Structure 1
Amino acid sequence: MSSDPVVTDPDLYTVLFENERVRVLEYKDRPGGRTHVHWHPDSVLIPLADFTRRISAGGREVEVLLQAGQVRWLDAQEHQGLNIGDTDSRAIFVELKEPAQDGRSVTGAVVGPSGRAG
């Protein structure tokens, strides 16, 4: 089974743009909305609305408040998410197709987005 979010959750993720270097996804859900386990490469996350999520991966869970316009770095990771707030989630993911030159992630975050720009 593919862990591409567009395949695991086609009702939540839409491809807005893609070329050989990046893929841009739009994500939308409602309170209580949940994703299946999926994978993102190193990405830039741009929330278009304020929302709260619980991100789960590898036996860990973190709760994150994402604020509209607060650009976040997302290290490559497999996870699933749950909208635990009372507002719709809406965000843009800019997924990088080329890994870091040294093969390491930029921030070392394990689960969820980092506040660092990378």
Structure 2
Amino acid sequence: MENEMGLTIDGCTFISCGTAVRAPSTIDIVAKNTVIQGCQKGFDLFDPEVMHKLDIPTDVNPEDIKAVIAELKKHPNATDQEMTETVARSKLGTVLGATERVTKVAASLIAIVKTGVSLWPDA
């Protein structure tokens, strides 16, 4: 993926929101004269390449992906079909919508769980 353009945030106020700014980690961000107060997360930077390779829309909250991975890890002896159904029932599955897309993403997440690969340091 190509490097993103820059983002300048000047004179903005974010109060009591979920996430103030969500952007790809490849973007240059300049924030000045800006207040972020009482938000769950000030800046949420994601790796667009990981999202692209997993065929997950970049507007999906990484916490939803982490939640699915955590749920899959709870049931290491589940069949691939059972794990796919877990993904389909999750918030991520709802966002993905189409069955074939859920199945494709589920296959990737199942492989990640079974091989022990970590997408994030805390996942």
TM-score of Structure 1 vs Structure 2, range by shorter chain: under 0.3
Higher RCO (C-alpha under 8 Å, 6+ residues apart): 1
TM-score, with structure 1 as normaliser: 0.24
TM-score, with structure 2 as normaliser: 0.24
Give the greater-gyration-radius structure (CA): 2
User: Counting helix residues as a fraction of each chain, which structure ranks higher?
Assistant: 2
